[in-house]
Amino acid sequence: MTRNRRILVAVGGALALVAVVWGINAFGSKPAPAAPTTTATAAPTETAHITATLFYASSDGQALVGVKRDVPLASGVVEQGRQILLTELQAAPQPYIKVIPEGTALRAFYVTDRGDAFVDLSPEVSRAHPGGSLNELMTVYALVNAVTTNLPAVQRVQILVDGKEVDALAGHVDIRRPLTRDVSLVRERDSTQDPKLKTKSK
């Protein structure tokens, strides 16, 4: 083989090697990163509710008023009763007044086979009570009426304080036994908001 021919063969081989290397780099390169996928955020599911009648003092503080409020739906009489009472212990909607002393907590709620419910409250229900027979009546019957009005299976309610039976919350209303619903203190609407219910002046 002549010298020129050897040079041409060598050059051709070098070019072929360059082509092979280029091909490896071109087709063996890492693929471009895929665009990030967005995960759809599930919309929060709304909690099911029931409409319950809860009881608060009228804006003049002289009567109880039944107020319709949304209460979380629960399974079974006992758990539904707990939800009703927990809502009753919350702040009253305007213009009504909460009749359960501030700081009172629900310790337990249970129902017997006879349909008697027991509402066990923390000591604040007595310790922080403002006193007075009317205030005490409204506290007791806001609880009794809230349970018996919304739970047909419950006929009577006994209030316990710190897990114990007590004579009264503030010395006026006997709660040593289960009490039935009493609407004698209940006003259909707040007379201060409805002129038709205001007492006529003499």
Q: Rounded CA gap, 53 and 145, in Å?
A: 9
pLDDT score at 185: 96
Q: Where are the domains of the chain?
A: 49-181
Is the Cβ–Cβ distance between 146 and 52 less than 8 Å?
yes
pLDDT score at 123: 98
Per residue in 132-191, pLDDT (tens digit) is: 999 999 999 999 999 999 999 999 999 999 999 999 999 999 999 999 999 999 998 654
Per residue in 72-95, pLDDT (tens digit) is: 999 999 999 999 999 999 999 999
Question: 161: closest CA among 127, 113, 130?
Answer: 127
Q: With H, G, I as helix, E, B as strand and everything else as coil, classify residue 157.
A: strand
pLDDT score at 100: 98
- The pTM (predicted TM-score) of the whole model is 0.73
Q: Rounded CA gap, 44 and 182, in Å?
A: 40
> Tokens representing 104?
């009172």
Say which residues have a Cβ less than 8 Å from residue 134's Cβ, sequence separation at least 6: 62
Q: Rounded CA gap, 172 and 150, in Å?
A: 26
Q: Rounded CA gap, 184 and 163, in Å?
A: 28
* Other Cβ atoms closer than 10 A to 142: 25
pLDDT score at 108: 98
